[in-house]
Amino acid sequence: MADRRNRRWQAGPKWALLLLALATAGAARAAEGLSERPSAFDVATTESRLVQALEQAGMTVFARVDHAAGARGAGLALAPTRVVIFGNPAVGTRLMQCRRSTAIDLPMKALIWREDGRTRLAFNSPAYLRDRHAVEGCKGVLETMRKALEGFARAATTPAP
């Protein structure tokens, strides 16, 4: 009897780890490659602050997509969800010269949405782009992108001191 109880106890932690892995796998997969941060503002204000920061830095804002408006046009409901498409050809071209397949992920996009009463901002991290496209020899370009994206996200989501 003691031997049987002992085996049951040993299987317990294994099952717990398996259940934990299964429970978190979907969430991790859904956010793979995204750098995400909370915003102190609503979606519209976060979007406006982002566009202002991008334009002040000389970035090109190619498009602004309001998915909630599109949903309303189709007779559907969607919480505020917007995408800002932006880039800098001087940086993006250098990345594409390292690995042409990165063009599928350029220009960059920022997703701003409201969920569970909170506004969030996310973008594909340069490390994710590096890994996804097996980019080699572009460390400086990727670091420039990382610093710029973090700065834009901070400017859009954080109140001025």
In this structure, the answer to whether residues 42 and 109 fall within a common structural domain is yes
Cα–Cα distance for residue pair 45/51, rounded to 1 Å: 10
Q: Please say whether the beta carbons of 107 and 120 come within 8 A.
A: no
Cα–Cα distance for residue pair 27/62, rounded to 1 Å: 30
Cα–Cα distance for residue pair 54/132, rounded to 1 Å: 25
pTM: 0.80
Using DSSP's 3-state secondary structure scheme, residue 48 falls into helix
Look at residue 58 and tell me whether its pLDDT is greater than 50.
yes
In this structure, the answer to whether residues 47 and 23 fall within a common structural domain is no
Look at residue 103 and tell me whether its pLDDT is greater than 70.
yes
Q: Please say whether the beta carbons of 110 and 83 come within 8 A.
A: yes
In this structure, the answer to whether residues 89 and 132 fall within a common structural domain is yes
Domain limits for position 14: 1-30
> What distances in angstroms separate CA 8 from CA 1, 4, 18, 19, 123, one per listed residue?
11, 6, 15, 16, 45
In this structure, the answer to whether residues 1 and 58 fall within a common structural domain is no
In this structure, the answer to whether residues 43 and 112 fall within a common structural domain is yes
Over the stretch 5-15, which tens digit does the pLDDT of each residue have? 544 444 444 44
Q: Give the range among 25-29, 88-92, 94-98, 109-113 with minimum mean pLDDT.
A: 25-29
For 59-83, what is the mean pLDDT?
Answer: 97
DSSP-assigned letter for residue 155 = H
Query: What's the total number of domains in the chain?
Result: 2
Over the stretch 3-45, which tens digit does the pLDDT of each residue have? 555 444 444 444 444 334 444 444 444 478 999 999 999 999 9
Q: What is the pLDDT of residue 20?
A: 40
In this structure, the answer to whether residues 59 and 102 fall within a common structural domain is yes
For 130-146, what is the mean pLDDT?
Answer: 95
Look at residue 124 and tell me whether its pLDDT is greater than 80.
yes
Q: Please say whether the beta carbons of 123 and 106 come within 8 A.
A: no
Cα–Cα distance for residue pair 69/48, rounded to 1 Å: 17
Q: Please say whether the beta carbons of 78 and 71 come within 8 A.
A: yes
